[in-house]
Structure 1
Amino acid sequence: ICCCCFLPSQCSLLCWPLAVLIQCLLPPVLGRSFLFRCLQITSFANSSWWRTDGLAWLGELQTHRWSNASDKIDSVKPWAQGTFSSQLQSVFRGYRSSFTRDVQEFAKMLSLEYPIELQLSAGCEVHPGNISENFVYAAYEGKYILSFQGSAWEPAPHAPHLVESVVKVLNQDRGTSEILQGLLRDTCPQLVNGILEKGKSELEKQVKPEAWLSRGPSPGPGRLLLVCHVSGFYPQPVWVMWMRGEQEQQGTQRGDFLPNGDETWYLQATLDVAAGEAAGLACRVKHSSLGGQDLVLYWDGSHNSVGLTILLTCLALLFMLILGLTLWMRRHR
């Protein structure tokens, strides 16, 4: 529908409320789309030393991991255990050894210099009605170089010419391409549906956000930086906007989503305004857990900066410590 579903921090202002509205109206879990992605990093120090590590995510939750020291995929969530069958575990072990061998052969063929670092992202997005899309992207030293599209490998638009040689060799191996097609088209959606069924209760959970206001570092003479903090919410899609009445303030800047330790999220939205124009502004928060009852916090000019609050708290504690120490010394003279 729009980028908000997966990259909220990069959305247009119109996209934000649409994403949250969709989240509120769709039935739980199976009524909305889920993105399952596996992320792999493989590093080669030289032709005889390498390591491969990876993670798997369903939406915002990490479900699986594999480390270089292990020959199997481990579940991070209890309800994700058993979703990788013994057959899939065997496929993974075969893939890891063949991937290492292929990279070594390509490095020799293309006269690449070590160290070499490769990143891969693969998975599928499952939509309601058993509709799915799949993807495989590969990067070399952090730069996107090729992808698997339909039934064949394709070089990235601005990839080095050497990548075309790699793609040509990969596409000659029709057997491997057909196996990859089957894994992406059939196995991946089946795996996602199995995870959704077992993890339904956690994936359906709704945690309400908490919000508070503060004053940030001054942007300049006669100006204020208003900061709206939103924390502790789940799932991730949320809409935060500085408002004047019902009018959205287009200067609102949102930071990146930051994870809390309890798998909820934190986000802040700032607004740079002239000091005389801050009165009447409010921060509005929309989230699926609020049931349509938005959080609205009004700026009244009394909000101190976080740094100032910490400083005053420390001074108060120091004063109490000195006072207590003085009284103790008087009593023990």
Structure 2
Amino acid sequence: MLFLQLPLLAALLPGSVNAEDPVELQVRLGCELSSSESAKGFMQAALEGSDFLSFQNTTWVPSPEGGEQAQKVCDLLNLYEGIKQIVENLMSKTCPRFLLGILDAGKTYLQRQVRPEAWLSSSSILGSGRLMLVCHVSGFYPMSIWVMWMRGEQEQLDSKRDDVLPNADGTWYVRVILEVEAEDAVGLSCHVKHSSLGDQDLILNWGHSLSMNLIILAVVVPLILLIVLVLWFKRRWSYRGIP
């Protein structure tokens, strides 16, 4: 903004009581983008911390606080057609293009969808015979998420949700805690709803992995024993046939 500050200083210093005194000049130039993506530029200048003048409709306009001095400076600056054209281009063309470019570059990042990862943990509450079940959900984006402990289709209203916290990579983390009697933990599940999941909720059943392991053991172990027994009998009968 040196191209603007120099003419302003040139206009202000001759009228100062002492030309060697320092002058505090602040210049603010930018643009605002509305929801309709139409940009409105602004340019303002302040002298010694008070509004002094602004640029409106290709013309320098004094601020009421600036008084007669601001009017004189505006009259002088309005003679500089080149500076007026530069400011007009910055406000109406350069700034809006720059702002829209930043928004376009960040749109993909801001609108990204990252699926959450979830896992369960538990701990015993000493001396109470109760369990503290914790549903951890991490790595999701955007921030909005719904997590609830449920029994069938019934929400467990005693569930306590912590604040959603940021991860180092820009995604989010949350946990939901439910305290229950140890014998009542069977049949509970943690349900997660998030925009990245669409209509498919993420469901984690408490004790599901343990139940599956028991089922596998109940099926596989007898099968292995049966195979070993058949091989043993087959081998024994084969030896009996040898003279």
State the TM-score bracket (shorter-chain normalisation): 0.3 to 0.5
Q: TM-score, normalised by structure 1?
A: 0.34
Tell which structure's C-alpha radius of gyration is larger.
2
For CA contacts below 8 A with separation 6 or more, give which structure has more relative contact order.
Answer: 1
Q: TM-score, normalised by structure 2?
A: 0.45
